[in-house]
Structure 1
Amino acid sequence: MSDSSESKKMLDPDPRVWDFETEYELGQDNIRPFGLDLHNPVFLISSILIAAFVLIALANQEATASFFGWLRPWLTSTFDWFLVLSVNAITLFCLALIVLPVGSVRIGGKDAKPDYSYAGWIAMMFAAGIGIGLLFFGVLEPVYYNFAESGGASPLGIDISEPGNEYAGVVGTIHHWGLEGWAIYAAVGLSLAIFCYNLGLPLTLRSAFYPLLGERVWGWWGHMIDTLAVFATLFGLTTSLGLGAQQVAAGLYEVFGIEPTPTVTVLLIIFITAIALGSVLLGMDAGVKRLSEINMIMAVGLFIFVILVTGVGVAISRYFSVMTDYILMLPALSNPFGREDTSFFHGWTTFYWAWWIAWSPFVGMFIARISRGRTVREFVLCALIAPTAVCALWMSTFGGAAIDMLNAGGAEGVRATVIEAYKPEGALFGFLKELPFYQIVAPISLLLIIIFFVTSSDSGSLVIDTITAGGKMDAPVIQRIFWCTLEGLVAIALLLGGGLSALQGAAVSTGIPFTVVVLIMCYCLWLALRAERAKM
């Protein structure tokens, strides 16, 4: 191909000059040893580097803990403005897609039909996108923001003793689990879905860069993008898996009296990874989909129980109050400059944005796989607005009820785990102790955490395998088993080499560079949607 024609293909968004199928065939460089299907060199580079990381971290646990203990605060305080402005831009872009004409573009073409019902689709989206986070942070985060600092001021910089500010911690929590986080998932997921199902490219991150890179997406530029996506996905995912393991260990102590030692936590990761392997062998429909639906039923059941015993009327009133405050406070919370609430901004917000971005290849690719047949408008609304509303309802119900109990002089279990001695993994069970039927509800909650753990692990291995197999969605199962196993090993290495700070540091270190990738993906997505709209 001549230089002039290649330049035209790269710059012109008209699909009539994008010969995707030809370029895709030119770009195939998979190697197939022993019946495997590996995308050379993405699989080799990713697996070797990650395996080396596991060995080094396990052999130098103190040094690993020290390094990640320094890395996370340095990154979040240095790149705070970049992360916040980037997430603001991504959010505004997604909201614009809802109202612009390109919102009528259908994933897979105008005649495409959805592969899953609304119930199954949303259940899988929630299980992948939220997972363990709701259970781990639902009580912890609102209570921490309200009571963790002395002097009557929360980390938000708001005097919670003033009337109308008693739920400031809930508002801060919704900020981290609301529009901006889900916009990141929606942008990445929609990009992958459009370039795969509408334009015939493989389901992998490099495909979204074809409008800019042309044939070079099949070379080292593409290899670097996919390798970075593997690292971001793996470290973002293992952060959640590590949190889940710690919370399961705390639940085992509360329910069965088993001490939550590091050995117990490691054994838990091994055991639950083995269950995830079984789900991987069953496949998408029999494994991930079924577990996701069970997850949703159990989570809804736990939510209904909590809202009934803590007061439906109070919960509804609280919800609308905090949602109003969230909308009013959103501009200030999204401003990176001149912030006085530095502990909230650097300790939580910038970490969350880096974590969401690190998770975005995993969740984005997963929801792209299950979203054929949906319009762009339908996709963004269901992946952005609905999850924000549901997350806010969960956080205001659990966290708000815990705040009410603490203000009334109760909730000693929550006070002990969040305020007096920071043991975040025990906050949920400390809250459930205040409710009736604890001996029944606690084991059910423990099982729910485990299933969330399993769905995150097996769907994560599915996504990483798709990337490292060059976008193939039917790669050999043995490869998914490999990645599922490696996820567990990385979680173990990070937990032993620094615990929570190491998990968070690993997520942030990959999330920040991947922010640049997501911003460019949004621009390429816009070019593709304009082209699809023109064809319509």
Structure 2
Amino acid sequence: MWNEYLKRESVFLLSAGIILFFIAVGIISPDLLESVSQAIHAGILDYFSWLYLISAFFFLIFALGIALSRYGTIKLGYDAERPQYSFFGWIAMLFAAGMGIGLIFWGVSEPLLHFLMPPPFMTSSTPEAASFAMRYVFFHWGIHPWAIYTIVSLSIAYFSFRRGMPALISSCFYPVLGERIYGMPGKLVDVLAVFATVFGTATSLGFGALQIHAGFTHLYGLSSAISVTIGIIVIATALFMASAILGVEKGVQILSKINIIIATILLLFILSLGSTPYILNIFTSTLGGYINNVIDLSLQSYPFEGYGWSRDWTIFYWAWWISWSPFVGLFIARISRGRTIREFVLTVLSVPTLFTFIWFSVFGGSALYLELERGVDLTSVAGEDVSLALFVFLEQYPVSGLLSLIVILLLIVFFVTSADSATVVLGSLTSGGSMIVPMYKKVIWGLSLSTVAIVLLLTGGLDALQMMAITAAFPFMIVMVILCYTLWVGLSQEKDRIEQ
């Protein structure tokens, strides 16, 4: 009986044990955790930064190659199956997947930071630095992240809907491992997916809590102590745990849709009250520069000058997207049943990317406009506290207090819905792919996400969040490279069904 339980719940027990060990070390000896994490992080960056760049570029080329090949006509489901959702409903949910804490946190701050602190070979705070800043923002948040998500989501969707296997990362390894996916090799793959998801999600929750705290401090003079940030995480945890335990999925869906509507209204408000022609020129010019330089950007680490800058930004982002890919990939897969591979890949790569470009053009472009044309000093704010820059930016517009409250509300709802969804995904990954997750697993994973975020904030703040994202993503990056091979093998076995 006990042996049967251990075998059935081995993924849950092993992954929960690893996370619990991490939390225990962080509580008992935070200095030890910080020094070990820094050593692992430094080793990965020193020896494998180039691998992150090549892998992300390879994922993009592979995804496009699959979509445009003869395999593009294969359906993610049975041949006669129709899409589960309407095209416009599907696109709306892709927007939901693409929007989140990250865009709000970095929408104003990242362009300003690149403008203020570009690589050493470029003079800071110049028009050239502004152009560089916007181009790299498009690069970091553009087609590459969605290519990373596409590899995971396409693999899960194909092997789950087409082959009838559980919705697990390990199922995608069937062409290589065969029945061993149900043994220890497959379980280790799922443990790595859980490990990446926990730390990727905890990073985003940490960002969200920092910015919510910064907003309340800026608006109401709340104490800036780290204990307040922890209190915000505790309150948000109670909210999303109640949602996960009560199973109010419809309520979460409604909140998500409302959040997207509010975010879009906020975007249009800033666009209409700012210098609209200036912003639109930034969008078109940056888009052109991004398209013309996408290959150079994809493989550029500035080894002679600016290597540290590339590691701090590009490598961090690629690792963050990889660590998020099991979570986002599973979500995208589940809403894409019945689509052809070509439709799936091309839509996932294009629609959310375009919205993201517009978002950064409006918020980042407006911030640079205020800095360069109006003399508003936003860069010093971003350089001192990246989570505060958005609220100082909003002060330049009418009803700034209301706008700041709306942003805080957006952050809270994104925090709750993201954590709630991640709790369900983690429960599913540790329950054999089933969406019927036992209550105790929801509770354990929900508390684990928030506790990991708190431990990271206490051991190093923003730097610790970024450092752990890179560390957690490394083993899963290797898993993703193998995923490309297993997906290709699986698709090649369908040659008799492919339209010639």
TM-score band, normalised by the shorter chain? over 0.9
Correspondence list, 1:96-111, <5 A: 96-111=65-80
- Does the alignment pair 1:145 with 2:107? no
Give deviations 1:422-474, integer Å, cap 9, x for gaps.
Answer: x1111211211112210111100100011111121011111111110011122
Which residue of the partner structure matches residue 45 of structure 1? Answer: 14
- Does the alignment pair 1:233 with 2:202? no
Which residue of the partner structure matches residue 15 of structure 1? Answer: none
Displacement of 1:418: 1.6
Give deviations 1:166-198, integer Å, cap 9, x for gaps.
Answer: 322011111111111110001100100110011
SS in 2 for 1:497: helix
- Does the alignment pair 1:380 with 2:345? yes
More displaced 10-residue stretch of structure 1: 373-382 or 236-245 = 373-382
Displacement of 1:73: 4.1
Give deviations 1:268-322, integer Å, cap 9, x for gaps.
Answer: 1111112112332454741442222122111111111111111322222210100
- Does the alignment pair 1:303 with 2:267? yes
Displacement of 1:147: 1.2
Which residue of the partner structure matches residue 476 of structure 1? Answer: 438
Which residue of the partner structure matches residue 433 of structure 1? Answer: 395
Q: Which of 61, 74, 78 is the equivalent residue of 1:92?
A: 61
Which residue of the partner structure matches residue 26 of structure 1? Answer: none
More displaced 10-residue stretch of structure 1: 166-175 or 202-211 = 166-175
Matches of 1:251 and 1:116, distance apart in 2: 37
Matches of 2:3 and 2:212, distance apart in 1: 39
TM-score (norm 1): 0.87
Q: Which of 348, 355, 363 is the equivalent residue of 2:313?
A: 348
Matches of 2:179 and 2:485, distance apart in 1: 18
- The verdict on how the C-alpha distance between 1:282 and 1:301 changes in structure 2, with shifts beyond 3 A counting, is farther
Which residue of the partner structure matches residue 4 of structure 1? Answer: none
Matches of 2:224 and 2:79, distance apart in 1: 53
- The verdict on how the C-alpha distance between 1:204 and 1:59 changes in structure 2, with shifts beyond 3 A counting, is same
Q: Which of 51, 68, 71 is the equivalent residue of 1:82?
A: 51
Give deviations 1:203-246, integer Å, cap 9, x for gaps.
Answer: 01100000011111111101110111110110111001101110
Superposition RMSD in Å: 2.2
Would you say how many aligned residue pairs link Structure 1 and Structure 2? 496
TM-score (norm 2): 0.93
SS in 2 for 1:498: helix
Which residue of the partner structure matches residue 358 of structure 1? Answer: 323
Which residue of the partner structure matches residue 528 of structure 1? Answer: 490
Residue ranges of structure 1 left out of the alignment (5+ in a row): 1-28, 149-153
Displacement of 1:405: 1.0
- The verdict on how the C-alpha distance between 1:73 and 1:170 changes in structure 2, with shifts beyond 3 A counting, is farther
More displaced 10-residue stretch of structure 1: 431-440 or 230-239 = 431-440
Give the residue type in structure 1 aligned to 2:362.
T
Residue ranges of structure 2 left out of the alignment (5+ in a row): none
Matches of 1:334 and 1:429, distance apart in 2: 32
SS in 2 for 1:435: coil
Give the residue type in structure 2 aligned to 1:313.
P
Contact residue 179 and residue 385 of structure 1 kept, 8 A:
yes
Q: Which of 296, 301, 305 is the equivalent residue of 1:332?
A: 296
Displacement of 1:39: 4.1
Which residue of the partner structure matches residue 188 of structure 1? Answer: 152
Amino-acid identity (%): 39
Contact residue 96 and residue 260 of structure 2 kept, 8 A:
yes
Matches of 1:507 and 1:303, distance apart in 2: 29
- The verdict on how the C-alpha distance between 1:82 and 1:200 changes in structure 2, with shifts beyond 3 A counting, is same
Which residue of the partner structure matches residue 464 of structure 2? Answer: 502
Give the residue type in structure 1 aligned to 2:453.
A
Displacement of 1:164: 6.0
Matches of 2:172 and 2:417, distance apart in 1: 26
Matches of 1:31 and 1:514, distance apart in 2: 28
Which residue of the partner structure matches residue 279 of structure 1? Answer: 243
Q: Which of 395, 399, 416 is the equivalent residue of 2:380?
A: 416
Give deviations 1:67-126, integer Å, cap 9, x for gaps.
Answer: 434543442232111111111111001112232221122212223233334454334434
Contact residue 128 and residue 456 of structure 1 kept, 8 A:
no
Matches of 1:211 and 1:388, distance apart in 2: 32
Matches of 1:275 and 1:123, distance apart in 2: 25
- Does the alignment pair 1:492 with 2:461? no
Matches of 2:301 and 2:234, distance apart in 1: 44
Give the residue type in structure 1 aligned to 2:429.
I
Give the residue type in structure 1 aligned to 2:331.
F
Which residue of the partner structure matches residue 323 of structure 1? Answer: 287
SS in 2 for 1:358: helix
- The verdict on how the C-alpha distance between 1:98 and 1:30 changes in structure 2, with shifts beyond 3 A counting, is farther
Give deviations 1:321-348, integer Å, cap 9, x for gaps.
Answer: 0000111222221124663332331111
Contact residue 140 and residue 428 of structure 1 kept, 8 A:
yes
